[in-house]
Amino acid sequence: MMELSMSLLLPLTFLLPLAGTLILSLSNGRLGECASATVGVTSMGLAAIVTVLIALQYIAEPQAYGVTLWRWISVEDFQPSIGLALDGLSLTMLGIITGVGFLIHLFAAWYMQGEEGITRFYAYMNLFVFSMVLLVLGDNLLLLFFGWEGVGLCSYLLIGYYYEHSANGWAAFKAFIVTRTGDVFLAIGMFLLFFELGTLDIAEILRRAPEVWAEGDPTVELAALLMLGGAVGKSAQLPLHTWLADAMAGPTPVSALIHAATMVTAGVYLIARMNGIFLLAPDILELTGIIGALTLLMAGFAALAQTDIKRVLAYSTMSQIGYMFLALGAGAFDAAIFHLMTHAFFKALLFLSAGAVIVSCHHEQDMRRLGGLWRQLPLAYAGFIVGGSALAALPLVSAGFYSKDEILWQQLASGHGGLLLAGMVGAFLTSLYTVRLIILTFHGKPKSDNARNAEAGRGLVHGVPLIVLAVLSTFLGAWIDPPLENLLPAPAEGEESWHLVLELVAAGVAIAGIAVAAWLYLRRRGWLAKHTSMGWGAWLWTFWNHAWGIDELYDRVLVKPYRGLVRILRRDVIDGACNLFAKLAWLLHQGLSRTQTGKLRFYATSMVAGATLILLALALMP
Amino acid sequence: MSGVPMEHGLVLAAMLFALGLAGLMFRRNMVFILMSLEIMLNSAGLAFIVGGTAWGQPEGQAMFLLVITLAAAEASVGLALLLQLNNRFKTLDTDAASRMRG
Amino acid sequence: MMLVWLILIPFIGGLLCWQFERLGDTAPRWIALGTMGLELLLTLWLWWGGDFQLPEIAGAQASQWVLEFRAPWIPRFGIDIHLALDGLSLILIALTGFLGVLAVVCSWKEIIGRVGFFHLNLLWILGGVVGVFLAIDLFLFFFFWELMLVPMYFLIALWGHSGTQGKTRIGAATKFFIYTQASGLLMLVAILGLAFAHHAATGIYSFSYDDLRNAPISDELAMWLMLGFFIAFAVKLPVVPLHGWLPDAHAQAPTAGSVDLAGILLKTAAYGMLRFTLPLFPEASQAFAPVAMTLGLVGIFYGALMACGQQDIKRLIAYTSISHMGFVLIGIYAGTQLALQGVVVLMVAHAFSAAGLFIMSGQIYERLHTRDMTQMGGLWGRLGSLPGFSLCFVAASLGMPGTANFIGEFMVLFGTFPIAPWVVAIASVGLVLAAIYSLFLMQRVYYGPAKSDEPLEGLDHREYVMLLGILALVLFFGLYPQPLLETSGAAMHEIQRLFTDPALTTTILPTGAS
Amino acid sequence: MEVAFYLSGLVAVLATLGVITNTNPVHALLYLIVSLIAVAIVFFALGAPFAGALEIIVYAGAIMVLFVFVVMMLNLGESVVAQEKAWLTPKAWLGPSVLAAVLLLTLIATLWLGDIGKVIQGDTLTAKEVGTTLFGPWLLIVELAAMLLLAALVTASHVGRVSPPEKPAMNQETGARKEHS
């Protein structure tokens, strides 16, 4: 009986959001703002309830469940099917998606009041959750790819939601293209895996891989590298990260859901899910750690020099996911997923609070024009404080501390000294920019009339998500340990004494960061302003503001040549070449028509010349 | 005297033919063109006669008769056209009538 | 006998429409709709009835055809009306029927002048195409191949739109005609060459498919004859160097013409390759495969680059179909069962998505009277549910999973990987370019600031049902392509068995997993 | 017999040269007649009296007289001579004469290389034999020749009719052309 109910519950998780999308999109305009909001939120609510039921059943008897709906394609030995597989990892992800997703949908109802096209908004949000659930529950790589691309499309649609300003449209376009390049790497990885192992089923792949390849075999290295490319594209890590900052053009609940909690963590989920392949390719795992470290440092510095609230949070997301990649690099898959969960909570909280601030200040996002809001917007301020502390990993009291500390400990345990150092510097930077964000936004004097007459949001829909997420961001959140027993490979062991020392050091770094930032931005704001406006300070500030200039680099190296090529080929050069034959024929015609002079003598002479030639030919012919 | 070798006769005809041809080509006046034409026809007739007598066959002369009828017919039509040319274009220059230009 | 009826219905329907023009404009439209509806129903009934599993124990030469019809035509040369139906041709005829219905419905309001004659041309194109899919006798195949060009020429020349930047529709129609006619003649030369080679060897003249298939010809001659066939199909596919006619023809053709052109005429070329080039000259095609795959790649990239630079919306869609057909070409010459099945699905999927996009551009033209994208922009809120549909078709054209295009493209890529991994790696970069030009279309037409806010009427009932029908099919085959795969499975296995026949030792490409 | 042949051949060639190079049409015509008579003599020398007679009577007599009539009718006086001089520029006659010389050389070369070896002894072929062949196997051809002459007669009479001056066809054309341009 339990089996039957699970095979019924699992499909429900993605059918409900799909139903929500279909209702909203097929209603084309007849549903009012409130009706579409209710449809959107209830579908998410039901999905959350179903997930809770699944979780209860899973905890009752923790074993992998699987249900195959129908065989998708069957050609000779290419037999992918639409099948769902549930285990601890996907349950955790499912919980995050539907749980945090529901809270964000609720908050969005308040955030999007008065906006036109609410039906379209909720249709896309539900479609996004549908694809994300498929990505997480898919039992074979093709279905995972289905969710993978669906998520990319929905992020394109949602970033480009305010389509009137073409800048938003082009930001969405950029996001889709960059993630699509990542998807292409994943696709080639899939082709390679299918060709080598003959199957796409994830469990089957993990079982056959060790038999076919020895550790360090170049093919498995290539497959792992390609999958890493896909993960990097989707999780906005170093080479393919330029799209995340611009993706803030979408509404804030979108950034909360997509660019904090769910989509950007898809890369981490993929690597965790395909851990068998990555273990067979140790130096690719090493590379993952290095990418994570580089990204977290780059993003940390970049976040320091941003003026827009959401861009600071975007870069902070990038650096936190860098931490998760760091954990994966050290083989600590559990720690990565644990940090993923806590990060989903506090980052969603931060984004929603930012959303509350933005709406209250009449869509003012620039920190230089905000300030002194902590008295008018108490709930948002509380959200920022709790979220910020979790982000900065305030010891003992915040969830972030436990998860980030676990990652740093794994680095030490697995002997990655350099990465540990990067992690420490990253932690310091994180606390630095978090405190900067809170002080600039909430303390000091309000620097614009938008900030001055900001009225706080009211109503349950606004309050409940913030409070729930705030609670989850504290140490209570850290107690929810994801059901990952003996699912993912065991992390490295180090002796306990070093663990305690590391915890103290990490706590010290966090507190030091907070203190330095508070001192800098409360007392020495003048010194700071002076230093960042002249000489090397200004140059460094702008360099970090443009995220180390990588975006401009891509623009000059890739985008401009492509546009140039398109402009050159605009008039269909090859077709032009084919038209040359037509021109040739015309020229020939022109030349021959000149021989008709109309003069009798000319004709006579040409006839005689012809006759003589023929006679000569005959005479000289051997 | 051993008689005239046939080649000489044919060479004579060839020379006459070539001269007529040259006359035809570099003259613009219609009268001269017709005259050169007559010369060419005549040389053709000569060639027939030389051939006929060399092989002792009467067909050569019979053929010559036909050449002459042809020459007569051609000359009369040519001259009639010449009259029309002169009448319409007020000149005998064949280049004037070149409206069939490409 | 059923097969003959399949061909005759469109022709008779066309004549009826032409005659009933006197009764006013709506009569021909209903007759045309009825004819194509009948054709579609007939094919679906055939599909329902016939079983398409090739008897696996194909001992000697078990007839691979599900239905066959043979009647002597010119006995002197061994040419006979030899029609045969198998899985592949059935799918494509059903596709022709469906797109015929679509073409008639979508030009309900667009065509006002000489409606009867328009429908005559439309139905005769479809009749010619059905003939191409059924003909098994090479001469008959050539006959229908030429037959379907003439009405298309009239369709573009008489009912086309005015040209942009000075290219007139007559010019486009003539260019289309010259391209296809010249290449058709090349094919005729190849057919005759083959027939004579067969005659030289066996002393009897015959144009039937089975005889010519095992005509003993030298490798060198086989390569030349194969090239004759390949160039004819490469022009129609179209493969890049010979693609010049497609964008012009599409930009000037009326919507119905474009739907037919993109939907079916391109598929006749792919069908021709699958039916004639590969089985008739297995070794030559094998040796030619690397070149064909490179041409496919060039097609993908060139089509994508061109699509991004276009101003005219229909030219952009035309170049996108060139890019998609690049994938088809790679799939055909990969030769594995998976790739060939992928080609069939991709053909059907591209037909739907291209038809959808063209109908959308036709509807925009009906409302804005322009095809120039610089004058569009910000149309999202102003066209009712049309933008929603075009978003789905754009998603289909960029190969979004859940649409049949994704299934087709990925099956082709999965199938080609064992044969040519590098080709697949480069082709998948083409997927990114596909995303670029598809979203370019969305960006330029629907997003951005609205140029003017005077209200435009949304989709009326006819258009809504039509677009919903296509979308439903695209999504259905995206989620459950099994009916397509089973029907074409036997035919593709036949081709794959020939193409990678173990007997052929001199294979250039390492044929890995079959 | 040989002497007569070579001598008259020479005369014929010189006369033809005269015809070609002469600017005055009447003088050219007379040279032409001389040339024709020289050829007639050649015929006699070769033993083809019937052909020679024909040549003199029909060719020199009738056709040339025709030419003289036409030249006289058009009264081509001094103006034509001046015009001819203008037209006979070296550039005009150099090209064609080179071409004619090349043709001549090829003809002579082929004749010279071919060893025909036939020699004309000069024994006459009487008109009777020619007559028997003409009205024997060649009867049909003679009829055709007659038809040809008839056709030429009809054409010449129709085309040659000089329409009266007051309705010259020319300005009709020029009028028509004015509307066109």
User: SS3 sequence, A278-292?
Assistant: HHHCHHHHHHHHHHH
Lowest-pLDDT range of A425-429, B52-56, C39-43, C128-132: B52-56
Q: How many CA atoms lie within 13 A of A185 on its CB side?
A: 21
Flag if A569 and C429 touch (Cβ within 8 Å): no
Gyration radius of chain A's alpha carbons: 30
Flag if A574 and C428 touch (Cβ within 8 Å): no
- Band of pLDDT at residue A198, cut at 50, 70 and 90: confident
pLDDT at B2 (0 to 100): 65
Percentage of residues in chain A with pLDDT exceeding 90?
30
Task: Report which of A55, A66, A61 is spatially closest to residue A91, judged by C-alpha positions.
Answer: A55
Tokens 């093709």 locate to A142
- Band of pLDDT at residue C511, cut at 50, 70 and 90: very low
Inter-residue contact A108 to A118 (CB < 8 Å): no
Contact list in A for residue B101 (CB cut-off 8 A) is 596-598
- Give the pair of three-digit tokens for residue C163: 């040209």
Distance from CA of A580 to the nearest CA of C (A): 12
Residue D167 to residue C168: CA distance in whole angstroms = 49
Lowest-pLDDT range of A323-332, A599-608, C160-169: C160-169
Contact list in B for residue A589 (CB cut-off 8 A) is none
Residue A205 to residue A197: CA distance in whole angstroms = 7
- Band of pLDDT at residue A2, cut at 50, 70 and 90: low
Lowest-pLDDT range of A157-161, C44-48, C496-500, D142-146: C496-500
Q: Give the mean model confidence (pLDDT) for residues A557-570.
A: 89
Flag if C435 and A150 touch (Cβ within 8 Å): no
pLDDT at C164 (0 to 100): 58
Lowest-pLDDT range of A205-219, A225-239, A303-317, D108-122: D108-122
Q: Is the pLDDT at A482 greater than 80, yes or no?
A: no
pLDDT at C226 (0 to 100): 92
Q: Is the pLDDT at D172 greater than 70, yes or no?
A: no
Integer angstrom CA distances of residue C121 from A343, C15, C85, C261: 64, 9, 25, 13
Residue type at position A55: A
pLDDT at B25 (0 to 100): 86
Tokens 């919507």 locate to C255
Residue C493 to residue C500: CA distance in whole angstroms = 10
- Band of pLDDT at residue A446, cut at 50, 70 and 90: confident
pLDDT at C52 (0 to 100): 60
Lowest-pLDDT range of A35-39, A605-609, C63-67: C63-67
- Band of pLDDT at residue D147, cut at 50, 70 and 90: very high
Mutate to test the interface with B, among A588, A589, A599 (most CBs of B within 10 A): A599
Q: Is D13 on the interface with B (CB under 8 A)?
A: yes
pLDDT at B68 (0 to 100): 92
Alpha-helix residue ranges (DSSP H) falling in chain B: 6-26, 30-55, 59-89
- Give the pair of three-digit tokens for residue C389: 């549909």
Residue A21 to residue A12: CA distance in whole angstroms = 14
Phi-psi region of A547 (alpha: psi -120 to 50; beta: other; left: phi over 0): left
Inter-residue contact C509 to C422 (CB < 8 Å): no
Q: Is the pLDDT at C357 greater than 50, yes or no?
A: yes
Contact list in C for residue A25 (CB cut-off 8 A) is 388
Q: Is the pLDDT at A489 greater than 90, yes or no?
A: no
Residue A420 to residue A424: CA distance in whole angstroms = 6
Percentage of residues in chain C with pLDDT exceeding 70?
93
Flag if B79 and D156 touch (Cβ within 8 Å): yes
Q: Is D34 on the interface with B (CB under 8 A)?
A: no
Contact list in D for residue A612 (CB cut-off 8 A) is 99, 102-103, 106
Inter-residue contact C107 to C258 (CB < 8 Å): no
Contact list in A for residue D99 (CB cut-off 8 A) is 605, 608-609, 612
* Main-chain dihedrals φ then ψ at residue A440, nearest 5 degrees: -65, -35
Nearest residue of A to residue B101 by CA position?
A598
Inter-residue contact B77 to D156 (CB < 8 Å): yes
Inter-residue contact C130 to C264 (CB < 8 Å): no
Nearest residue of C to residue A78 by CA position?
C338
Q: Give the mean model confidence (pLDDT) for residues A342-367.
A: 88
Distance, CA of A276 to chain centre:
23
Percentage of residues in chain D with pLDDT exceeding 70?
88
- Band of pLDDT at residue D82, cut at 50, 70 and 90: confident
Residue type at position A428: F
Distance, CA of C237 to chain centre:
8
Q: Is the pLDDT at C501 greater than 70, yes or no?
A: no
Nearest residue of A to residue D114 by CA position?
A619
pLDDT at A222 (0 to 100): 93
Q: A579-614: string of b/e by CB count within 10 Å (b at 16+)? A: eeeeeeeeeeeeeeeeeeeebbbeebbeebbeebee
Cα three-residue angle C312-C317-C318, rounded to 5 degrees:
95
pLDDT at D161 (0 to 100): 79
* Element housing D56 (H / E): none
Phi-psi region of A321 (alpha: psi -120 to 50; beta: other; left: phi over 0): alpha
Residues in Cβ contact with A196 at an 8 Å cutoff, skipping those fewer than 6 apart? A212, A213, A219, A223
Task: Report which of A263, A255, A192 is spatially closest to residue A226, judged by C-alpha positions.
Answer: A192
Q: Give the mean model confidence (pLDDT) for residues C15-33.
A: 88
pLDDT at C15 (0 to 100): 93
Q: Is A166 on the interface with D (CB under 8 A)?
A: no
pTM tops 0.95: no
Flag if A615 and D100 touch (Cβ within 8 Å): no
Q: Is the pLDDT at B1 greater than 70, yes or no?
A: no
Q: Is the pLDDT at C54 greater than 70, yes or no?
A: no
Q: Give the mean model confidence (pLDDT) for residues C244-251.
A: 87
pLDDT at D176 (0 to 100): 43
Q: Give the mean model confidence (pLDDT) for residues C307-318.
A: 89
Task: Report which of A398, A351, A349, A358 is spatially closest to residue A377, judged by C-alpha positions.
Answer: A358
Q: Is the pLDDT at D169 greater than 60, yes or no?
A: no
Computed over every residue of chain D, the mean pLDDT equals 82
- Give the pair of three-digit tokens for residue A156: 């394109």
Task: Report which of B70, B16, B75 is spatially closest to residue D34, judged by C-alpha positions.
Answer: B16
C485 CB burial (10 A radius; 0-12, 13-18, 19+): buried
- Band of pLDDT at residue A148, cut at 50, 70 and 90: very high
Percentage of residues in chain B with pLDDT exceeding 90?
40
Q: Is the pLDDT at C258 greater than 60, yes or no?
A: yes
pLDDT at A573 (0 to 100): 80
- Dihedral of alpha carbons C384, C385, C386, C390, sign: positive
The DSSP code for A261 is I
Q: Is the pLDDT at C508 greater than 70, yes or no?
A: no
Q: Is the pLDDT at C371 greater than 90, yes or no?
A: no
Tell me how crowded residue C503 is: count the other CB atoms within 10 A of its CB: 6
Q: Is the pLDDT at D181 greater than 60, yes or no?
A: no
pLDDT at C58 (0 to 100): 41
pLDDT at D179 (0 to 100): 43
ipTM over 0.90: no
- Band of pLDDT at residue C7, cut at 50, 70 and 90: very high
Lowest-pLDDT range of B90-94, C208-212, C470-474: B90-94
Residue A31 to residue A118: CA distance in whole angstroms = 9
SS3 of C384-426? CCHHHHHHHHHHHHCCCCCCHHHHHHHHHHHHHCCCCHHHHHH
Residue A96 to residue A482: CA distance in whole angstroms = 10
Contact list in A for residue C417 (CB cut-off 8 A) is 191-192, 194-195
pLDDT at A549 (0 to 100): 86
Task: Report which of A440, A436, A464, A463 is spatially closest to residue A451, judged by C-alpha positions.
Answer: A440
Q: C383-404: string of b/e by CB count within 10 Å (b at 16+)? A: bbbbbbbbbbbbbbbbbbbbbb
Flag if A598 and B98 touch (Cβ within 8 Å): yes
Residue type at position C24: G
Helix, strand, coil percent values for chain A (each to nearest 5)? 75, 5, 20
- Give the pair of three-digit tokens for residue D37: 């008579």
Computed over every residue of chain C, the mean pLDDT equals 86
- Band of pLDDT at residue A4, cut at 50, 70 and 90: low
